[in-house]
């Protein structure tokens, strides 16, 4: 992963030249990321968030606070605000890592980074605004959201699978997310999902080799080999994805200490449930009203979740297999944008790169224009091989799967 290069404020871009004419320290020092400047002046973000008003807080956590912002043209943004005194070296690394990753990847199922700012002891990241909040808010009753239907949950599962498939295999550089969970899956007004929070992303190793790294992520979603050795491959994301599938089916959290000890850990409990379909149906979220056809697809997704959470990393499928499983389950009613995309050539990449240039409102408009057109070329439902439906709605499991899982 390339390092961020730091440059003094000069006339190298629009914002830098503006700084020279104003001569104000209000802007702080701008980090120029190679030739693509995503820097946004602090006063622009203060205006957009009404000086970071508490009324505009969307959420908070160990990373800091996320604010809703409004641009002069009415466009909504989300601003993640962190203070250096709180985040330390670890947080600074995640701040820079997120910029480094998101300037390289553009996909309709990954939340778009629109800019960033460093001012005194503050670090800020600016994203596209996702009006329907996080998947966790919808699944676990955090707010006034109605329960997601099974069809909506299937579409979310496919969207996330495609976002991860792109990160792992289809981007110019392969990445590992390391912190996939419902609170890092955001929803738009059409209830389409995008993966967010790339501060823990690691460069994926070539081939099948693993890379050792500092243990990070969230308990309940950590693959066994990662939790015990600190070594990661893309299969740690596959494991976390399997946990998310279980949460979509059951409406339960990965870890719920309010429940009896024997069912606190979702994966262990769910894998016991998989022994029989009758048990599985009893484990399904009680808020779901399932048809017979829905029940069949629940069983197929449950089987996929079991494969994804196999204890041995080599026994888990890749995300391309997950996409192949989910596409036929969604069937005739799936949104048109869920269809597999095309080849994603140089023209699409150039269009995505152009989003980074100009003022924030200009970048927002270009991103919105490209969202449904040129960027769709990155949404590739790439098949990992011919599908075999001879055993039902789920493609034949890869040969590495043991019969007993």
Between residues 363 and 179, the one the model is more confident about: 179
Question: Would residue 179 show up in a list of annotated catalytic residues for this protein?
Answer: yes
What is the reported pLDDT for 246?
98
Least confident of 102-116, 271-285, 365-379: 365-379
What is the reported pLDDT for 229?
86
Q: Is the pLDDT of residue 160 over 50?
A: yes
Q: What tokens does 2 get? A: 């390339």
C-beta neighbour count of 405 within 10 angstroms = 14
As a whole number, the mean pLDDT across the chain is 74
Residues 176-216: tens digit of each pLDDT:
888 999 999 999 999 999 999 876 666 666 544 455 455 56
Q: From CA 381, how far away is CA 402, in angstroms rounded?
A: 26
Homologous superfamily (CATH) of 135-338 is Transferase(Phosphotransferase) domain 1 (1.10.510.10)
Question: Quick one: average pLDDT of 157-168?
Answer: 96
Q: Is the pLDDT of residue 27 over 60?
A: no
What is the reported pLDDT for 103?
73
What is the reported pLDDT for 123?
87
Q: Are 70 and 364 in contact (CB under 8 A)?
A: no
What is the reported pLDDT for 378?
26
What is the reported pLDDT for 88?
54
What is the reported pLDDT for 316?
98
**Residue corresponding to tokens 């399904």:** 284
| Helix%, strand%, coil% for the chain, nearest 5 | 45, 15, 45
Q: Is the pLDDT of residue 20 over 90?
A: no
Least confident of 59-73, 279-293, 382-396: 382-396
What is the reported pLDDT for 342?
36
Specify the pTM. 0.71
- Residues at the annotated binding site for ATP? 80
Q: Are 376 and 108 in contact (CB under 8 A)?
A: yes
**Residue corresponding to tokens 């979603």:** 221
Domain ranges of the chain: 14-128, 135-338
Name the residue among 322, 317, 342 with its Cα closest to residue 400. 317
Contacts of 69 (CB under 8 A, 6+ apart): 45, 48, 49, 56, 76, 77, 78, 79, 126, 129
Q: Catalytic pick from 159, 179, 197, 379?
A: 179
Does the domain spanning 14-128 belong to CATH 3.40.720.10?
Answer: no
Reduced to 3 states (helix: H, G, I; strand: E, B; else coil), residue 42 is helix
- Residue 27 C-alpha from the chain's centroid: 30
């Amino acid at each position: 992963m390339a390092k961020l290069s730091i440059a003094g404020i000069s006339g190298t871009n629009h914002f830098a030249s503006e700084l020279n004419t104003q001569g104000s320290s209000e802007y702080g020092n701008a980090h120029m990321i190679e030739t693509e400047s995503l820097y946004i002046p602090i006063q622009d973000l203060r205006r957009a968030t009404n000086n970071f008003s508490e009324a505009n807080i969307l959420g908070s956590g160990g990373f800091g606070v996320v604010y809703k912002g409004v641009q002069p043209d009415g466009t909504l943004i989300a601003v993640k605000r962190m203070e250096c005194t709180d985040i330390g070296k670890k947080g600074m690394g995640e701040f820079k890592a997120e910029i480094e990753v998101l300037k390289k990847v553009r996909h309709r199922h990954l939340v778009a980074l629109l800019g960033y700012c460093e001012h005194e002891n503050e670090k800020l990241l600016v994203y596209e605004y996702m009006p329907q909040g996080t998947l966790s808010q919808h699944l676990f009753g955090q707010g006034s959201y109605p329960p997601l239907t099974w069809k909506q949950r299937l579409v979310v599962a496919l969207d996330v699978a495609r976002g991860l498939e792109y990160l792992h295999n289809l981007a110019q550089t392969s990445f590992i997310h390391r912190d996939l969970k419902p609170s890092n899956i955001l929803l738009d007004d059409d209830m389409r999902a995008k993966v967010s929070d790339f501060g823990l992303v690691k460069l994926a190793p070539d081939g099948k080799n693993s890379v050792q790294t500092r243990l990070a992520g969230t308990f309940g979603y950590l693959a066994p080999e990662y939790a015990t050795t600190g070594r990661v491959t893309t299969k740690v994301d596959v494991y976390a994805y399997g946990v998310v599938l279980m949460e979509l089916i059951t409406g339960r959290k990965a870890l719920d200490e309010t429940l009896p000890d024997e069912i606190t850990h979702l994966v262990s409990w769910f894998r016991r449930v998989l022994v029989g379909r009758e048990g599985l149906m009893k484990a399904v979220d009680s808020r779901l009203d399932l048809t017979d056809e829905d029940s069949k697809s629940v069983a197929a997704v449950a089987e996929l979740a079991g494969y994804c959470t196999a204890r041995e990393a080599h026994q888990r499928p890749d995300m391309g297999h997950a996409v192949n499983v989910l596409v036929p389950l969604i069937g005739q009613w799936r949104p048109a944008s869920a269809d597999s995309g095309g080849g994603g050539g140089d023209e699409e990449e150039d269009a995505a790169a152009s989003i980074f240039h100009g003022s924030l409102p200009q970048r927002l408009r270009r991103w919105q224009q490209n969202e449904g057109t040129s960027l769709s070329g990155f949404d590739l439902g790439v098949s990992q091989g011919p599908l075999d439906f001879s055993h039902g709605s789920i493609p034949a499991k890869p040969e590495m799967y043991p019969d007993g899982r």
